[in-house]
Amino acid sequence: MYCSRLLVLQELLTEDQIERLDKYFAELIGSACDNITVSKVARAIGVSHDVASKSLTKCLKEGLLSVSYGIRCPECNMLIKRVSSPIEIPEGIFECYGCNEEIEVTPKDIEILYSLIDNRIFINGQQVEISPPARAVVHEDSMESVFLAGGVNEYLFQLSDEQYQHLLDMYIKVENHKGTTKSIGDTLEELTGKLFNMCSAFRASGIRTSINQIDCCVRNKWYLNFGIFNILGSHFYIECKNEAKTPSGTYLSKLHSIISVANAGGKGECIKFGIIISKKEGPSTFKQLAISYYLIHGIVIISICGKELKELFKTRGNLLELIERKAAEIMMDATTDLKADGLYKI
């Protein structure tokens, strides 16, 4: 019988495959426990790399595994360093200490590595792995391969149950807060900043421009050309509206105007995405205006209401999935509910 915590894989793997995965984990000792990859698991249990990747992601969420990122020099193939988060991956051009070449790391040069958090839940085995010499990153284990297969949202937004509960507690305070208009607004802005900073690719903070106060400016620190990140761009703006009534439709027009000013002279290259986060659901004019602005200017603006935030926190949903769905509805002018039709879970 396999470890009971592997039951979460029953939607992905057969009983026999789960047994094989349990055996694979049980036989890992030494450095092998910290160098689990998609390709190794795929070979060990006889599944496709896509299924192996999804299975490892499930194990990651279950707390059986942790993940890190091995960076190899594209010139000499030497392992430069291992980091715990994509946010720690070096930006821009820098010098490899192995070959002294100037390099720029891309997702092709980053290998996703999993580690067993506690192998005592499995039977200790005898599989020994000797660290291999420096080599080119195996394509199926690279970050690029995983992200191209559609795993970018899951890898870059992973919260613990405690973090979700903390966000839910913060939202309940937003719902119940009483005080001055500013203090009420501050509670939603604080929650928004906390939420977006929990995504490992983002850094979020309120900023002041020469003519506007931006509630939350989000920097896409590691600008990935995958999925929703390609739509978000390198920076995007968020405006928070913590009102006890339906927010005015003019708020979306104002955010579009602020983005247009930021893009003046830059041909829309500075900001191309915006979000309005409001306690109450926005009016139908939000979406109508958003579609018009996208068709005319190529700028995507979405709205997220308190009810959706609460559902996100309670169901342990994925923020990036929510943003991607909202953006898709604007860009496709979709009248169909993409969530109700099963295209998105959140």
| In contact, 47 and 13? CB cutoff 8 Å | yes
> What count of Cα atoms within 13 Å lies in the side-chain half-sphere of residue 331?
14
What angle (nearest 5°) sits at the alpha carbon of residue 195, between those of residues 253 and 342?
75
Instruction: Give the model's confidence band at 16: pLDDT under 50 very low, under 70 low, under 90 confident, else very high.
Output: very high
Question: For 193-240, what is each residue's pLDDT tens digit?
Answer: 999 999 988 999 999 888 888 999 999 876 667 778 889 988 999 999
CA distance 271 to 289: 18
**Domains, in order of start, for the chain:** 4-151 (1.10.10), 161-331 (3.40.91.50)
- In the prediction, which pLDDT does 124 show? 47
pLDDT at 1 over 60: no
Cα–Cα nearest to 106, from 148, 66, 67: 148
What ranges in the chain are assigned the alpha helix state H? Answer: 15-26, 38-45, 49-62, 143-146, 152-156, 161-176, 181-197, 227-232, 250-263, 284-297, 306-314, 319-331
CA distance 232 to 226: 10
Looking at per-residue confidence, does 346 or 275 come out higher?
275
